[in-house]
């Protein structure tokens, strides 16, 4: 971590590190303002600097109107945003985010990502964990860990370029019946909803067989560009079956 | 047509001067999967608490599974299942003891309950974890247990409040497959989620903004109405500064960084793949590649839920 062993580096490592844990990390009986002040003191932030940074962070997180609200009375998304603000007060060089968007609504989520891109643009290194593949696709580089093993590591685009399966959208047919039929086909590696129909990942070259199986249900296949979730589902499938 | 499974009529709830739910009306048919979406604090949980008979409405009324939430809240409670984002399980108890506890809470006992408990363990694929301590299990398995506990008493209506927060994609697939099977058998599903790819599973979706129900329709109709433009995915180099110059042009609805690329929403009358490529290249971007994308429910959500500016921030 920044050239040091985090187990040995002690305070020097932690000073340049911002952490937003997955679990509750704030004092529940302190207000938004009090939590911010508490973290600012932990990092010995001068008053003027604290004022400037907290104003900016409150603006981005839209927590300004809730300064007096206790942390335990915040909604899930607001709590996450406060935890992030507390982790950013000391301008760390490296920011670690453990599932930062669980329970966070889409508007706040996009704002959080806009903020992360800004921080990265200014030179911060961000490492985050997420179970959501549309978010993984937003990263410059991803590692896919499953049962303790790193299965993939690379740029989302590059990983997708190497993806061997084919992805299709099912057109027509009744979704539940189509889904049932598809689940019996071994060439179908994953199926997920797409509007009123399904998006499926199939073994390369097997689309013809799958299409034939769907013909009696009045459904057909239309090729689409694979995304990261298709890749994830297909990649962990053999692991899950093992 | 049979009576709707859930019916809210001019439902409102006030906390002091704050109107958490403001004149909300909708109905949900038996066996329908109904998605209830909104930003944090939009009034989703307050609506659910009223529909579950846990919180009295300030005005308006609601019927759930044929019972009035005001005059018969106990009948409502015994007809519904509820699964919260926190999964509400006793972490220091084994899986099977959690099932027994929730069965007891619904007044279930005896051989019928023992058979039902076994059935639910099987349905939720928890037989191997029967004796495991709940707290030691990963999120995806806890989620199945929370769901199992919520359906022990065969509720007519199942409320799912962010049921998949923090759950991996494979477990989420299984979870939804199971939920859809329940709906096919006639259970009415009322679900909130922040993950809008999941909202695609819903037959219809209601969108809440600041306590009001501002849109209600099928996912496809919502997309047609709220995302009229073209959605484009862009890759290339030096995109950030080129994108900034694009923002001010007419017909550009949204510009968003996405990984190393951009996502754009543009008016179809003004822009196509070629003209966007040209504009970005002129603005200094290199090796620009543009691809047509599909509008998502997230695009709908962002179009409907315009960012409310709640006053100026002041220093803590």
- Residue A196: its pLDDT value, please? 65
Give the range of the structural domain holding residue B300, as residue numbers without chain letter: 228-304
Instruction: Give the relative orientation of helices A228-241 and B169-184 as an angle to the nearest 10 degrees.
Output: 90
The burial class, CB within 10 Å (0-12 / 13-18 / 19+), for B294 is middle
- Residue B76: its pLDDT value, please? 95
Q: What CATH code is carried by the domain that includes residue A72?
A: 3.40.50.300
Among B169, B173, B200, whose Cβ lies nearest the Cβ of A195? B200
- Residue A45: its pLDDT value, please? 92
CA nearest neighbour of B198 among B171, B229, B225, B176 = B176
Together in a domain, A109 and A57: yes
Chain A interface mutation, best of B87, B141, B259, highest count of A Cβ atoms under 10 Å: B259
Q: How far apart are alpha carbons A109 and A146 in whole angstroms?
A: 25
- Residue A230: its pLDDT value, please? 86
ipTM for the whole predicted complex goes beyond 0.85: no
Give the gap in angstroms from C-alpha B260 to the nearest C-alpha of chain A: 6
Q: Give the largest CA-CA distance in chain A.
A: 72
- Give a yes or no: residue B7 inside a domain: no
Task: Please tell me the total count of domains within chain A.
Answer: 2
Out of B208, B237, B256, a domain closes at B208
- Give a yes or no: residue A150 inside a domain: no
Q: Which residues of chain A have pLDDT under 50?
A: 240-242
The answer to whether the Cβ–Cβ distance between A138 and B259 falls below 8 Å is yes
The answer to whether the Cβ–Cβ distance between A65 and B310 falls below 8 Å is yes
Using an 8 Å CB-CB cutoff, list chain A residues near B257: 113-114, 117
Among A117, A196, A232, whose Cβ lies nearest the Cβ of B169? A232
Q: What CATH code is carried by the domain that includes residue B286?
A: 3.30.70.100
Give the gap in angstroms from C-alpha B71 to the nearest C-alpha of chain A: 29
For residue B274, the tally of other CB atoms under 10 A from its CB is 9
Among A59, A110, A157, whose Cβ lies nearest the Cβ of B313? A59
Task: Please tell me the total count of domains within chain B.
Answer: 2
User: What is the DSSP track for B230-265?
Assistant: EEEEEEEESHHHHHHHHTTSTTEEEEEEETTEEEEE
Out of B174, B208, B242, a domain closes at B208
- Residue B146: its pLDDT value, please? 93
Together in a domain, B161 and B117: yes
- Residue B78: its pLDDT value, please? 92
Using an 8 Å CB-CB cutoff, list chain A residues near B224: none
The answer to whether the Cβ–Cβ distance between B200 and A194 falls below 8 Å is yes
Together in a domain, B39 and B184: yes
Mapping DSSP to helix (H, G, I), strand (E, B) and coil, where does residue B179 land?
helix
The answer to whether the Cβ–Cβ distance between A233 and B173 falls below 8 Å is yes
Give the gap in angstroms from C-alpha B261 to the nearest C-alpha of chain A: 9
Phi/psi at B105 (nearest 5 deg)? -65, -30
- Give a yes or no: residue A125 inside a domain: yes
Per-residue pLDDT of chain B (316 residues), as tens digits, is 578 999 999 999 999 888 999 999 999 999 999 999 988 778 998 999 999 999 999 999 999 999 999 999 999 999 999 998 777 889 999 999 999 999 998 889 899 999 999 999 998 889 999 999 999 988 888 889 999 999 999 999 999 998 887 788 888 888 888 898 899 899 999 999 888 888 888 999 999 999 999 999 999 899 989 888 888 989 888 888 888 888 888 889 888 888 778 888 898 888 989 999 999 999 999 889 898 887 888 888 888 886 443 433 445 5
The answer to whether residues B172 and B151 touch, using CB atoms and an 8 Å cutoff, is no
The answer to whether residues B60 and B13 touch, using CB atoms and an 8 Å cutoff, is no
- Residue B308: its pLDDT value, please? 44
User: What is the DSSP track for B206-237?
Assistant: EEEETTEEEEEE-HHHHHHHH--SEEEEEEEE
Out of A131, A151, A179, a domain closes at A131
Using an 8 Å CB-CB cutoff, list chain B residues near A55: 313-315
Give the gap in angstroms from C-alpha B300 to the nearest C-alpha of chain A: 10
Together in a domain, B80 and B139: yes
Using an 8 Å CB-CB cutoff, list chain A residues near B301: 106-107
- Residue B311: its pLDDT value, please? 38
- Residue B312: its pLDDT value, please? 39
Give the gap in angstroms from C-alpha A209 to the nearest C-alpha of chain B: 24
Using an 8 Å CB-CB cutoff, list chain B residues near A114: 256-257
Together in a domain, B85 and B197: yes
Out of B160, B175, B208, a domain closes at B208
Q: How far apart are alpha carbons B197 and B201 in whole angstroms?
A: 8
For residue B140, the tally of other CB atoms under 10 A from its CB is 18
Q: How far apart are alpha carbons B56 and A128 in whole angstroms?
A: 41
Q: A229: nearest CA in chain B? A: B169
Together in a domain, B180 and B117: yes
Q: What CATH code is carried by the domain that includes residue A204?
A: 3.30.70.100
Please state whether beta strands B157-161 and B80-83 pair in parallel, antiparallel, or not at all (unpaired).
parallel
Using an 8 Å CB-CB cutoff, list chain A residues near B169: 131-133, 229, 232-233
Give the range of the structural domain holding residue A126, as residue numbers without chain letter: 6-131
Q: B56-101: per-residue pLDDT in tens?
A: 999 999 999 999 999 999 999 999 999 987 778 899 999 999 999 9
Q: A37: nearest CA in chain B? A: B316
- Give a yes or no: residue A230 inside a domain: no
**Cβ contacts of residue A162 below 8 Å, gap of 6+?**
none
Using an 8 Å CB-CB cutoff, list chain B residues near A232: 169
For residue B283, the tally of other CB atoms under 10 A from its CB is 17
């Amino acid at each position: 971590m920044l050239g040091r062993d985090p187990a040995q580096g002690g305070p020097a490592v932690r000073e340049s590190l911002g952490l937003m844990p997955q679990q509750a990390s704030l004092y529940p009986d302190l207000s938004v303002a009090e939590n911010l002040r508490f973290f600012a003191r932990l990092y010995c932030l001068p008053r003027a600097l604290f004022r400037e940074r907290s104003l900016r962070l409150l603006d981005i997180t839209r927590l300004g109107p809730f300064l007096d609200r206790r942390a335990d009375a915040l909604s899930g998304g607001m709590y996450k945003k406060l935890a992030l603000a507390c982790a950013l007060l000391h301008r760390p060089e490296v920011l670690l985010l453990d599932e930062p968007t669980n329970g966070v609504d889409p508007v706040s989520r996009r704002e959080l990502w806009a903020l992360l891109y800004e921080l990265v643009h200014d030179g911060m290194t961000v490492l985050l964990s997420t179970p959501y593949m549309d978010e993984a696709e937003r990263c410059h580089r991803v590692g896919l860990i499953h049962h303790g093993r790193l299965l993939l590591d690379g740029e989302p685009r590059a990983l997708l370029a190497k993806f061997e399966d084919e992805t299709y959208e099912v057109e027509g047919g009744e979704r539940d019946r189509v889904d049932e039929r598809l689940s019996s086909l071994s060439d179908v590696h994953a199926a997920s909803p797409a509007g009123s129909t399904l998006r499926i990942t199939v073994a390369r070259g097997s689309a013809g067989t799958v299409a034939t199986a769907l013909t009696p249900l009045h459904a057909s296949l239309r090729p689409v560009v694979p995304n990261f979730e298709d890749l994830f589902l297909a990649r962990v499938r053999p692991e899950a079956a093992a | 047509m049979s009576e709707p499974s859930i019916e809210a009529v001019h439902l409102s709830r006030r906390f002091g001067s704050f109107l958490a739910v403001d004149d909300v009306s909708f109905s949900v048919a038996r066996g329908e999967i109904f998605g209830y979406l909104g930003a944090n604090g939009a009034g989703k949980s307050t609506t659910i608490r009223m529909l579950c008979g846990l919180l009295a409405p300030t005005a308006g009324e609601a019927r759930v599974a044929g019972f009035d939430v005001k005059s018969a809240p106990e009948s409502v409670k015994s007809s519904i299942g509820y699964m919260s984002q926190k999964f509400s399980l006793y972490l220091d108890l084994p899986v099977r003891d959690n099932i027994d506890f929730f069965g007891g809470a619904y007044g279930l006992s005896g051989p019928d309950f023992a058979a039902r408990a076994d059935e639910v363990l099987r349905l939720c694929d928890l037989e191997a974890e029967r004796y495991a301590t709940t707290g030691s299990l990963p999120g995806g398995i806890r989620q199945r247990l929370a769901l199992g506990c919520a359906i022990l008493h065969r509720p007519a209506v199942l409320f799912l409040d962010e049921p998949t927060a923090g759950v991996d994609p494979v477990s989420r697939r299984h979870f939804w497959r199971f939920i859809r099977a329940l709906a096919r058998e006639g259970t009415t599903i009322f679900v909130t989620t922040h993950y809008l790819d999941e909202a695609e599973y819903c037959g219809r979706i209601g969108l809440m903004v600041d306590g009001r129900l501002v849109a209600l329709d099928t996912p496809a109709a919502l997309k047609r109405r709220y995302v009229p433009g073209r959605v484009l995915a862009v890759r290339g180099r030096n995109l950030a500064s080129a994108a900034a110059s694009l923002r001010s042009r007419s017909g550009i609805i949204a510009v968003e960084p996405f990984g190393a690329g951009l996502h754009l929403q543009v008016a179809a009358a003004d822009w196509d793949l070629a003209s966007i490529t040209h504009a970005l290249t002129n603005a200094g971007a290199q090796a620009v590649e543009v691809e047509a994308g599909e509008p998502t429910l997230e695009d709908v959500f962002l179009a409907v839920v315009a960012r409310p500016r709640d006053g100026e921030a002041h220093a803590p």
